[in-house]
Structure 1
Amino acid sequence: MSGTTPPPGDPQDVPGDPANPVEPAGADGRGAGTDGRTPDASRGGVRRGAAIMASGTAASRLLGLLRSIVLIAAIGATGEAADAFSVANKMPTVLYMLLAGGVLNAVLVPQVVRAYRGSSGQEYVDRLLSFGFALLAVATVALTLAAPALVRLYGESPSEAQLALATTFAYWCIPQLFFYGVYALLGQVLNARGSFGPYMWAPIVNNIVSIAGFGLFWALFVRPSDELPAASGWTLGQVALLCGSATLGIVCQALVLIPFLRRAGVTYRWRWGLRGSGLGRAGDVAKWTFVGLAIGQLGYVIVSRVSMAAPGQDLSPSSDIAGNAAYDLAFTVFMVPHSLVTVSLATALFTRLSAQAHDRDVAGVRTSLSSGMRVVAVFTLLAAAGLVVLAQPVVRLFALSQPAGVVDAIAPIVVAMAVGLPAFGAWSMCQRVYYAYEDAKGMVPIQVVMAAVVAGGTLLGRALLPSSSWVVGAGASMSVSYVVGTLLAMRALRGRLGGSVDAAHVLRTHARAGLAALVAAGLGYGTLVAVRAYGPGGVTGAVLQCAVVGAVMGLAYLAALRLLHVRELDQLLGPVLRRVRGRR
């Protein structure tokens, strides 16, 4: 459970439920084409496809970070307008996640991959696409009409003006849902035809359009000496430019795929009817995937409502109290290391796990899970330590124009989330095993407990903490849920994997790498104090602090790992070192 607004346009990281990210789980247990058996199924073709996708993801992430910086410059990271836009603009991605996890990814996408292996593939794909487009259109219209109810479900505020502004934003933003779905469907058709690049590079178009729109909003409506108008003071022009830019980016992201479809030889025409399509088994996977995602949403509703309510609790509401937008920014920072490294490692592992599960190679699955958890831990423990030490300068780099009070309000949220990053990586590895065995149902009890931990922890924080710390409590609850989910998953997987998940080996690696991370954090914190004392302040100081402290922590961590004989370091760095040596 939990929520976010990571760089929009990447449905793998949609807000609402980071504990249960949308996985490409197909009816055959191997995901949507994750076995690499596409028309470009040679080993070299798969590697080229993986390289293209990885580079596209990295470029999209970097532009997504820039998008966040420009958005914060335009409407701030706290305050009524920022929180209202946060609720409205992540609503289509929250809703898309439910549809994608329950229908598009788990049912339609795998069928597209299989269809192109048959003689009448394009006709069947036409029917699947027609069904998907119709489903998305109906859902989008219905949910757009339900915008007022959805805003009140996800947002709690004593200000009726803020809720009204969020509803207005939502009318402009929820139509993104249709184009998110179109992007996913067309992108998977391209992947099935062996054209990997467009799907992964299309979000860059979204980010460029959004950055341009938000930048124009900043140029037209933001003055250094003035604050943004209160929720009741927004004009139609301001709403149209801000929300229209966000929605136009998603539209462009979807439509830019059409020329590539033609180049790949795909000629779509409307066809209706799926009778005899054999979707029954896939539908069962979809049902339980949808249930798991919906359970996560119940927890996120609590987080979203508490976060939006926090700034308005005082008699004189403060713009320095973290709310929904601050939570989103903190989660964006939290997701950067996971998205750039952990997801890549997990995706590569999923291909192997799927084949081993299909071949009933229990020992192989156990070995792959253990190796994946240990290698990911080596990275995530350092990333977590780095975010804890550097939370304040990192937030400053995002909130360039924001006052110190805003940075001070958001940094503790980053720390609360960052401590759960290693557990998040481990939970992601466990999820891959469930999906490899096509067992979405088996995760549901664990997801119930995780959602309960997040919801209960967030409500407990609201009861015991000052409003300025409510969002910190939500972030901490999220971290605890990852730990609980990982422990429950490993316990449940023991029975499936012959009574063992190699837990002792996994714990030893976590302990050694954790000790190395503590050493690095201690040296990093001392360095940070020194750089702050003798270095410049402001944005320049934040850049210097991140560079110097990051380098010190990285070198200290590597040295400690060598001293502690953590062999997983070689597995993590091996591909990079081999590539460097090859270029020489």
Structure 2
Amino acid sequence: MARPKKVAAEPAHKAGAAPMSANAKLLKDSGSIAVATLISRITGFAKQLLLLTVLGPAIASAFISANLIPNMVAELVLGAVLTAIVVPTLIRAEQEDADNGATFVRRLVTAAFTVLFVATVLTLAAAPILAGHVLVSSDGKVNTNLTVALTYLLAPALLFYGMSALFTAILNTRQAFKPGAWAPVMNNVVALTVLAVYALTPGEITLDPVRMSDPKLLVLGLGITAGVATQALCLLPAIRRHGINLRPLWGVDARLKQFGKMGIAIILYVLISQVGLVVANNVASQADVAGPAIFANAWALLQLPYGVIGVTLLTAIMPRLSRSAADDDTPAVVDDLSVATRLTMIAMIPIVTFMTLAGPEIGQALYGYARFSGDAERLGSAVSWSAFSLIPYSLVLIHLRVFYAREQAWTPTWIILGITTIKILISALAPVIARDSDDVVIVLGVATGLGFTAGAVIGGVLLHRSLGDLRMVNVGRTVTRVLLASIAGGAVMLIVDTVTGLDRVSGGAGSLLRVVIDSVVMFSVAFGLMRLAGIPEVVAITVAISRKLGITPPAPDLGLDDTPADDIYATTVLRRPDTYGFPAYGQSLDTQTMVLPVIRPGAVDSTGKAQFPYAVPQTDTGFQAEGGPRVSDDAVGGVPAADSAARAAAGMSTEVGPDAPNSTDSEHTDAPDEGDTHEDGARSAMPPHDPTYDTGMLPIPPQVPPSAAANRGQRGPKLIPGASVAGGRYRLLAGHGGARGLKFWQALDIKLDREVALTFVDADQTSGENSGHDGPQAVLSRTLRLGRINAPGLARVLDVVRGSSGGIVVAEWTPGRSLREMAETVPSPVGAARAIRALASAAELAHRGGGSLSIDHPDRIRISASGDAVLAFPGTLGDSDAQGDVRGLGAMLYALITARWPIRVGGVTGSAATIGGLRLADFGPDGTPVEPRQIRPEVPFEISAVAVRSLESNKGVRTAATVQHVLEQASVVDQKTDFIPVLRLGQRAVAPGADSLADPELLAAERERSKRMMWIMVALGVLAALVVGVLIWWMVSIFAPGASDKPLDQQINIGLTSSVAPPAASAPPADDPAAPPTSVPLPVTGAAVFSPEGTPDGAAAAGAVLDQNAATVWRTDQYFQQFPALKKGVGLLATLPTPAKLTNVSITSPSAGSTVEIRTSPTEAPTLDQTQLIGSAKLGDGVTDIAVQTDQAARFVLVWITGLANSGGQFQTAIADVRFDAAP
């Protein structure tokens, strides 16, 4: 007979390649935008870095407060809320509207532009109130006039932020992720250019008063707004390429009304979040002039690692999550939630640990330059204390995406309410909790983290209530291992940092080197331990890298592409039956394979005639009584159990099977060939179907007679290792036999990364009646009832997958050995009795519930690692009953003891070579098998008797409870009292008794795990020893006695006490009033104004302080606010001829009440952090002598004014002369 042609399925799209699965598409989308997102985060961080170093803390705080208004509205409302609602609504419009949602997009864009324009105008009108009394109060330390001026210039950015977010959402629904990912990069590039121009523009922003015409102010405000406009406008070319029409169209669409219904929830969400943000910014601005800048940039620094990982994943997964939610596919939503949570936690926990331990060093390395060097360490401390908030923050964002995808707009309101409440309470107490004003911003960061923690807890509770079981057990185990590995890596990092002396490195460049070395050490140790712990994601990454580097050989080829000639018709999933026999039907559908979703009880098609691919009982109560409650990891009751990817034909390539033997040549001639096409080369068009009821299979018109092709014999799937079934959800690993039309397989759950047991019901599609009492669907329904039973002797039923003919029962995998393998080891009779006792207990529970287990074949039973006999492959057949299970219990006990099967196939007169690999037992003249005691004399009488008598219903054993009771007694009575022998030193204990049926292979694997755990414990022990050693060394260096004769409390300095102020100069002894002077005056070669945070004050008059003329003075600028509201201070840097050790500084000044500090500098152009304080005083009217004390000679001396004299609300200080005295 001629071999039929091999035809590949034609995909649904025009491309020639096979369509990718949902996970592959998600991976590709994530990879395509990862680079853009990374560059966006890096350039955005560079922008924030330049803002601080170029503007300084005072101006930067005003700018950040002003820019907070458009950012708060745009990013929170549009970026987090509106975009999440637009995506699912646009998808539905694309699916439901005849024009693919084009009209809806036009109306949406028109309405959004109008609302944003009105909001921008209102913001401009309310700028003085918002900037002067809401975000920054008038009595705070941030300049309110500058904040109001910048608000006028930055408010128009609100319109462009909104349109950019809307354009990105529209492009995302078209699967165009790249333009939206690159748009923020363009914004950041423009902003960096603007800051460079600002730095090169001469002069400084005038603050007393602030003038809107100031060039630097205009460059800063209008330039940043231009960057945001660029972000929105650069998306227009991509909009045009995808043929999206943005012409204005007025009108109210039904879906726009849905926005109106959600509007109240959105407005409430925004108001609640605004309250928390306003409180935090107010508290920060009142306590510290640099508070808003530190608070905002600490959070921006935390966002840098999260943005690359978390946002990338969420951006790509949002359309997929929205489609699953729109299809009401709860299992797919839960799967996406679990995957996103696990991947985010694996990436975030090590980063959070590193930032917590190395926060101050990170602050110095990144921000310790130019005008912000004095506050860089404080910013790093804020990062260190608030780094933990990344964990709950990422969880909250994942939860919000799920709620918005399910169009539950009110649910996030409860989450943000919990977040804001906790945040406000702790923020209000921040000035009380903090030790001083510098620590207030640290407490604000902690308040943010605790608020998100509360939000994560609330979101988890609400998700559990909405979705049911969230399957977080595996996630919890993974998080625990990652956390322990990260802590160990952090401990090693601290030890290396101390031993190598990196903790003594200072300065921006030195701190950067320290951070790089510490990060390499910590992440290497942490991810190495994760690899040893066997975290699947880390293992996959390391294996892929090692294969790329050639360290590990390539993955083995399963040989699925080299199928032998006899198996060329194999398929890898349940095959669609050939039920389409009308001329319009394209024969290419024969080559598509799929798994049908569950059809709910009582469901009907569009005609109302309940025409389904298989018969479904229409009586809800009857069906529910038969199927019982759904017990599954994949669904809540009433939700299809099949993977969402299997809802539609996936275009998988298979091969057309051969014709049935009874087919004739004429039938082949009449049937249309699969390669037939129209004259234009196109295939026949598919018949229309009703989109309101789509089971993934076209409805079968009853009026069209079947063609000859429909009479061909149906061919079942060829199940082979490595094949995927159930829409790619499960990958087959190994077959474990079968029984009476069932096939048993061990498989891997791809999504949840766990092994499962699959029972294929009618895999060969030989059942003539699909829905009768003995049909496959009835088998699936009866088996689903077993999910309610929780017993060691029954593998828990997780799910059932219903197909057009037959289906799959998914159960937990039972590690161990098959019954045949265990019987071949000749186990002890007592051990066998204990094993079957667990199976009898499960059978009794099933019988009490009105069901049965179908204990009818040895291939169904596996012996678990704990020695229990488990029904590993559930599948309750139609002829199964309680008496049959009792008979099966006796047969399993008999087989386990004797390695023989005591039941003949086909009745007493049947015969077979083997059953499940077991030979048939020897039978006596009466047709009953010989007793186990005759084969193995050591078998106790009770065990032998129950094995034989359970096989016949008239022998006294009629219930599973009786079997369980007798086996319990037999196993106890037969126990012997053993004396524990004395073991000599080094002698091994004897092997455990033979009554245990524990699997030797599992014991070997357990020993391997124990050995690996031993090495981990050794490593942790060594690590602990190193930590203890460092602590001992530190304490010894502190408390060990030295050569000094001072008391111990004067010798010890562990850095926990405040520095002692320089002592005043000693007065001359009372008995020698005419003592010679202890210092001599020094000449000064030059003086210059030192103003690191703005233009020098009175630079031309700086030399007046050296002429020793009280009539000529140098004055600071006149300020309306006291230092450090605008700047930290201003001063005079004097240059001496040679380095000298100063003893006294005399300042002549008419500005009584001014506060000055005397500092030494190593260079002529230092930063304030590079100077060293040697004395301080408050100036009086006239000459003020300031005693100083220094251990090193210095050439450059700074007179640093930290407090100005107050004269009628005007703050200004004047200095007439300065004199320096040094030791002779």
Say if 2:182 is the partner of 1:212: no
Cα distance 1:296–1:578, how it changes in 2: closer, same or farther (>3 A)? farther
The answer for the alignment partner of 2:448 in structure 1 is: 478
Q: Which of 47, 51, 66 lines up with 2:31 in the alignment?
A: 51
Cα distance 1:294–1:349, how it changes in 2: closer, same or farther (>3 A)? same
The answer for the alignment partner of 2:126 in structure 1 is: 146
Say if 2:342 is the partner of 1:374: yes
Cα distance 1:281–1:206, how it changes in 2: closer, same or farther (>3 A)? same
Q: Which of 125, 132, 137 lines up with 2:105 in the alignment?
A: 125
Tell me if structure 2 keeps the 8 A contact 1:106–1:286.
no
Cα distance 1:336–1:453, how it changes in 2: closer, same or farther (>3 A)? same
Cα distance 1:252–1:175, how it changes in 2: closer, same or farther (>3 A)? same
Say if 2:141 is the partner of 1:163: no
Offset of residue 161 of structure 1: 8.0
Q: Which of 395, 398, 419 lines up with 1:450 in the alignment?
A: 419
Which of structures 1 and 2 has the larger relative contact order (alpha carbons within 8 angstroms, sep 6+)? 1
Distance in 2 of aligned mates of 1:182 and 1:435: 20
Offset of residue 246 of structure 1: 0.7
The answer for the alignment partner of 2:482 in structure 1 is: 513
Letter in 2 for 1:52: S
Distance in 2 of aligned mates of 1:148 and 1:453: 29
Aligned pairs (5 A) from 1:175-186: 175-186=156-167
The answer for the alignment partner of 1:262 in structure 2 is: 240
Distance in 1 of aligned mates of 2:530 and 2:443: 32
Cα distance 1:195–1:341, how it changes in 2: closer, same or farther (>3 A)? closer
Tell me if structure 1 keeps the 8 A contact 2:136–2:282.
yes
Letter in 2 for 1:525: L
Tell me if structure 1 keeps the 8 A contact 2:265–2:409.
yes
Letter in 1 for 2:153: W
Cα distance 1:66–1:260, how it changes in 2: closer, same or farther (>3 A)? same
Offset of residue 578 of structure 1: 8.3
The answer for the alignment partner of 1:311 in structure 2 is: 288
Offset of residue 519 of structure 1: 1.2
Tell me if structure 2 keeps the 8 A contact 1:83–1:323.
yes
Tell me whether 540-549 or 425-434 shows the greater mean CA deviation. 425-434
Letter in 2 for 1:562: R
Identity of aligned residues (%): 25
Offset of residue 69 of structure 1: 2.0
Residue segments in structure 1 that go unaligned for 5+ positions in a row: 1-36, 313-321
Say if 2:362 is the partner of 1:384: no
Offset of residue 344 of structure 1: 2.5
Letter in 1 for 2:152: Y
Aligned pairs (5 A) from 1:150-549: 150-151=130-131, 152-158=133-139, 162-221=143-202, 230=207, 232=209, 236-274=214-252, 276-311=253-288, 322-350=290-318, 353-399=321-367, 400-402=369-371, 404-465=373-434, 466-498=436-468, 500-530=469-499, 533=502, 537-549=506-518
Tell me whether 406-415 or 366-375 shows the greater mean CA deviation. 366-375
Distance in 2 of aligned mates of 1:507 and 1:436: 24
Say if 2:58 is the partner of 1:88: no
Distance in 1 of aligned mates of 2:260 and 2:521: 51
Cα distance 1:538–1:531, how it changes in 2: closer, same or farther (>3 A)? farther
Letter in 1 for 2:284: S
Offset of residue 66 of structure 1: 1.5
Q: Deviations over 1:72-129 (max 9, x none)?
A: 22102x22x2111111012101122454269842555555555555444444433322
Letter in 2 for 1:521: G
The answer for the alignment partner of 2:681 in structure 1 is: none
Letter in 1 for 2:225: T
Tell me whether 507-516 or 561-570 shows the greater mean CA deviation. 561-570
TM-score by length of 1: 0.81
Tell me whether 422-431 or 279-288 shows the greater mean CA deviation. 279-288
- Secondary structure of 1:205 counterpart: helix
Q: Which of 117, 123, 128 lines up with 1:137 in the alignment?
A: 117
Residue segments in structure 2 that go unaligned for 5+ positions in a row: 1-11, 555-1224
Tell me if structure 1 keeps the 8 A contact 2:418–2:455.
yes
Distance in 2 of aligned mates of 1:472 and 1:175: 32
Give the CA RMSD over aligned residues: 3.4
Offset of residue 187 of structure 1: 3.2
Q: Deviations over 1:159-205 (max 9, x none)?
A: 59811110000000011001112222333344445543222212222
The answer for the alignment partner of 1:20 in structure 2 is: none
Distance in 2 of aligned mates of 1:417 and 1:376: 18
Tell me if structure 1 keeps the 8 A contact 2:205–2:217.
no
Tell me whether 340-349 or 104-113 shows the greater mean CA deviation. 104-113
Q: Deviations over 1:279-329 (max 9, x none)?
A: 3334434542442233222111110111111116xxxxxxxxx41011111
Offset of residue 265 of structure 1: 3.2
Tell me if structure 2 keeps the 8 A contact 1:535–1:541.
no
Offset of residue 242 of structure 1: 0.9
**Greater helix content:** 1
Tell me if structure 2 keeps the 8 A contact 1:374–1:568.
no
TM-score by length of 2: 0.40
Distance in 2 of aligned mates of 1:168 and 1:39: 56
Distance in 2 of aligned mates of 1:50 and 1:378: 17
Distance in 1 of aligned mates of 2:14 and 2:221: 39
Letter in 2 for 1:146: A
Cα distance 1:352–1:209, how it changes in 2: closer, same or farther (>3 A)? closer
- Secondary structure of 2:143 counterpart: helix
Tell me whether 446-455 or 337-346 shows the greater mean CA deviation. 337-346
- Secondary structure of 1:419 counterpart: helix
Distance in 2 of aligned mates of 1:349 and 1:107: 14
Distance in 1 of aligned mates of 2:341 and 2:27: 23
Tell me if structure 1 keeps the 8 A contact 2:67–2:154.
yes
Cα distance 1:160–1:338, how it changes in 2: closer, same or farther (>3 A)? closer
Distance in 2 of aligned mates of 1:570 and 1:470: 43
Cα distance 1:231–1:492, how it changes in 2: closer, same or farther (>3 A)? farther
Distance in 1 of aligned mates of 2:88 and 2:334: 26
The answer for the alignment partner of 2:1046 in structure 1 is: none
Cα distance 1:42–1:139, how it changes in 2: closer, same or farther (>3 A)? farther
Letter in 1 for 2:167: L
Cα distance 1:39–1:217, how it changes in 2: closer, same or farther (>3 A)? farther
Distance in 2 of aligned mates of 1:232 and 1:325: 22
Cα distance 1:180–1:233, how it changes in 2: closer, same or farther (>3 A)? closer
Whichever of the two has the greater Rg, that structure is 2
Offset of residue 232 of structure 1: 4.1
Tell me if structure 1 keeps the 8 A contact 2:140–2:286.
no
Cα distance 1:217–1:283, how it changes in 2: closer, same or farther (>3 A)? same
Tell me whether 344-353 or 568-577 shows the greater mean CA deviation. 568-577
Distance in 2 of aligned mates of 1:99 and 1:580: 46
Cα distance 1:530–1:91, how it changes in 2: closer, same or farther (>3 A)? farther
Letter in 2 for 1:132: A
Cα distance 1:425–1:571, how it changes in 2: closer, same or farther (>3 A)? farther
Cα distance 1:471–1:194, how it changes in 2: closer, same or farther (>3 A)? same
Letter in 1 for 2:459: A
Offset of residue 70 of structure 1: 1.9
Letter in 1 for 2:233: L
**Greater strand content:** 2
Offset of residue 388 of structure 1: 1.6
